[in-house]
Amino acid sequence: MASPDPPRHLASRMIRLLAILAFVFAPAGRASETLSIAAASDLVFCLEALNREFAKSEPSVSLRVSTGSSGNFFAQIKNGAPFDVFLSADLIYPRELIAAGAAEEKSLTRYGIGRIVLWTGRTDLAIDDLASVVRNPGVKRFAIANPDHAPYGRAAKEALERSGAWTEVRPKLVLGENIAQTAQFVQTGNADVGIVALSLVIAPVLNHSGRWTEIPSSAHTPLEQGAVLTRRGVSNPAARRYLAFLSTPAARTIFDRYGFSLPRSP
C-alpha cells in the first residue's frame, strides 16, 4: 500500500489533464509517419512508458494518443473516428469492432490482465473489506467508473454485487466517465473511496496519494485486455509495428511494472 503525501494538487492536476486530453508523443527531429492511438484510460501512465520505449526503435513515428472510456472509443471507431490502433480495457469491444468490420480480426492482441483496488485518500478509513467499507456510515460517496461503457466499472459493479453490497452502495455512487476520472474523484476528495485500476495508483504520480487494498481477482470476471488494428490502421505500417511491439519483452516488462498480469493464451 502507498502512504499519503501532502502535495495532492499536483497529482490531481496531472490525472485530470491526462484523463480528458489527447497528447502527442513525438521524438526530436522530423517524424515521417504518424500513428493515432485510442487507449483505455487505465493505460494513461503505462502508455507514456510504452511510447518512450517504442520511440527508441521507431524515432520517425509521431504518436498521437487519446485516452478515455473503452466503450466511448468503440462507438467512435465504429462510426469512422480516425484512430489506427485501439487499446481496450477488455476484449469485448475489440471483438465487436471486428464483427462490425471496423477492425482486423487477425490483429487482435491480448496485452494484459488488469487488476482493481479499493483506494482512499482518507487515513481514518479501514479498507480491508469491501462490504464493510460500503456499510461504513462515514462513507458518503463511493466512486466507480460507469459500468455502462467502462470495463473497470463493470468489474467494480460485479465485485460489489458478489460482496452483497451493491444495493447499499447505489445511493452513494459517484460515476466516473472513465477509470482515470474515477481515480480523480478519490484523489481530490470528491469521493471518500473508490474502486480504481491498480495501474493508476502504483504510477509515480499517484503512488503517494492514498492507501489501497487489492480486490481479489476471484471477485470479478477477469479484465482481459486487448488491442486491435482499426479499419484505418490496417493500411498504416507503423500501426502494425506498434501492435507487434506490445508483445515484445520490453513492453511486457513495462506492463508488469504497472500491475498488469500476463495475458492468457488465445
Q: In whole angstroms, what separates CA 126 from the centre of its chain?
A: 25
Q: What is each CA distance from 19 to 108, 194, 222, in whole angstroms? A: 25, 16, 23
> pLDDT digits over 88-130, tens only?
999 999 999 999 999 999 999 999 999 999 999 999 999 999 9
Instruction: Supply the pTM of this predicted model.
Output: 0.88
Q: Does residue 1 surpass a pLDDT of 60?
A: no
| Domains of the chain and any CATH numbers | 8-113+223-257 (3.40.190.10), 115-219 (3.40.190.10)
Q: Quick check: 60 and 217 in contact, CB under 8 A?
A: no
Quote the pLDDT of residue 16: 52
> pLDDT digits over 221-238, tens only?
999 999 999 999 999 999
Helices 92-99, 70-78: inter-axial angle, 10-degree rounding: 10
